[in-house]
A and B are shown apart, each in its own frame.
Chain A
Amino acid sequence: MKEMAEKTRRDFLKDCAIGALAAGAAPLAFARDIHPSPTEQGKSRVVIARDVALYGSSSSPEAARVEKLLDRAMQNFSDSSDPVAPWKKLFKPNEVVGLKVNTIAGPGLSTHLVLVEAICERLQGAGIKPGNIVVWDRTHGELDRAGFTLSNDPNAVRIIGTDSKDAGYDETVLSYGVVKTRLSNLLTRTCDAMINVPILKNHSGAGVTLALKNMYGVNNNPDHLHANNCCPAVADINMLPPIRNKFRLIVADAMTGCFEGGPMFKPQYAWRYNGIILASDPVAIDQTAWDIIERKRAEQGMKSLSQAGLAPKYIAVAANPDHRLGTDDPKRIALQEV
């Protein structure tokens, strides 16, 4: 048992070392690999798929429409005519694939269960066993309140919080820049690959929260990382090797967004954007999210985030030479609305 634990720990340290080496490599190599269109080489693709009838007359999005929307987004993102092929390209059948959702705001503004179900369906279509899919967030309580039924059944999709006795935080303290933290064992040990499934939100501290800021739910001390509009902490935490190496795809839930008062749900500031946003570059998708939120604020006659002193400064920092997590340059973002 001890030998096994040591092996796992050695594997983790090796993972970190590889990550440190990878930090010097081209950050968008993976993004280019999965959509190698010659006209877009060097650009980060961001696909926004929207369906105005997503909610129908209901207060929840319709499952069948969400599944179609996800397929439309993914097929455009990967230039594929087959809805399952892109998932096969991204994940191997023997891998344990995690979905990091965002459930802090309760049922009104958390990752929708129907979107998670649609992703799990496609992963299973790609050959991933249900027990090798792990939907997780920082606590059981938040998952439960957001409508997820907790399960640690190895034969079904697992839904689990890091605060579970079966998970917890890795004993290894990792640091980069201002961040010194311990990451969830679900990220460092359980999952081989990750999908980031954040929510389109304003954030009263950071300005915007989508892909990069969702990593505040994978570590043990997010409350220590909010100084100076969460900058550079958001960029720094995304440099940690397990985050940098394992997250392969971002499927942002932009069905309902919030333009003010986030990250918690305040219905008066929420709106139906009816969208799913796909990318593999977390900086490019966050830059895109910032634009969407600014447009909505302008439509509401509100000050821009910059005017309100809430520009998400961490996005530019994440793109700078010290981080190189992606691009915030609109000329290098291939934005496609479908």
Chain B
Amino acid sequence: MNKTSASHLVPLVICLATACLFAACRHQGAAPVSIFPDSAAVPGWTRSPEVRTFPADRLADYIDGDAEKYLKAGVKSTSTADYKYKDQIQVVVDVYTMSSPSSAKTIFESEPAMDAQSPTLGDAARLYSQSLIFLKGPYLVRMVAYQESPQLPSALLDLGQAFESKLSR
């Protein structure tokens, strides 16, 4: 095989490696990194490069004290990334991959709704002034903002829709 024909194989090898990695993530129950919309995928939003993933047996490293209820409900893994809205508002997005839609619903319904709005998003959603939680199949997505802004709820919804679209594929 000469050098030219070998170079033709490089994209194929990369594709195969990516497919294997994606399959491995799926196999372990991890939400693939690709479900986190990139910077500028949604106007006003930027994402930090790192997406951290915690399998069920390491969830306490991330949310010690809160991990028990997710473990009881059947969490398989949790992925998390930091976003910023208009370079000012810090937001953390957690995607909990549960064992089934009903186990995701168990977590969702265990939390009092308080004065939440119920936007049309995923299978069920709750929107607050600083957070958005929604279900899509076995996924529970939680977005928490660390500052307030009048535009924030609608911006969270925009980002939520981008996640929903990726989780639907």
Interface hub of B60, B130, B144 (most chain A Cβ within 10 A): B144
- Asked whether B60 lies within 8 Å of A222 as measured between CB atoms, the reply is yes
- Chain A residue contacts of B118, Cβ below 8 A: none
Asked whether, in the complex, the Cβ of A203 is within 8 Å of the Cβ of B146, the reply is no
Q: Give A262 to B69 CA distance when docked, in angstroms.
A: 11
Please measure, in the bound complex, the distance between the C-alpha atom of A88 and the C-alpha atom of B9, giving whole angstroms: 72
B90 to nearest A CB, angstroms?
7
A116 to B60: give the CA distance in the assembly, Å. Answer: 26
The A194-222 residues at the B interface (CB cut-off 8 A) are: 203-206, 209, 216, 222
Set B68, B92, B111: member contacting A261, Cβ < 8 A: B111
A267 engages B64 (CB within 8 Å): no
Per DSSP, chain B at the interface is loop
Interface size on A, residues (CB 8 A): 26
- Chain A residues, Cβ within 8 Å of B115: 268
Is the pair B114, A267 in contact by a Cβ cutoff of 8 Å? Answer: no
Cα(A104)–Cα(B60), bound, Å:
11
A91 within 8 A of B: no
Taking a contact as CB atoms under 8 Å apart, the answer to whether A268 and B65 are in contact is no
Q: What class of interface size applies to chain B in its complex with A?
A: 20 to 34
Q: Quick check: is B148 within 8 A (CB to CB) of the other chain?
A: yes
Q: A204-B68, A265-B144, A267-B129 are contacts. A260–B112 as well, Cβ < 8 Å?
A: yes
Residues of B within 8 A of A204 (CB): 65-66, 68-69
A contact residues around B69 at 8 Å (CB)? 204-205
The smallest C-beta distance from A216 to any residue of chain B, in angstroms, reads 7
Which residues of the other chain, A, contact B63 by a CB distance below 8 angstroms? 104, 263-264
- Smallest CB separation, B5 vs chain A (Å): 46
User: Which residues from chain B sit less than 8 Å from chain A, CB to CB?
Assistant: 60, 63-69, 90, 92, 111-112, 114-116, 128-131, 144-148
3 closest A-B pairs by beta carbon, nearest first, are A223-B60, A267-B130, A263-B65
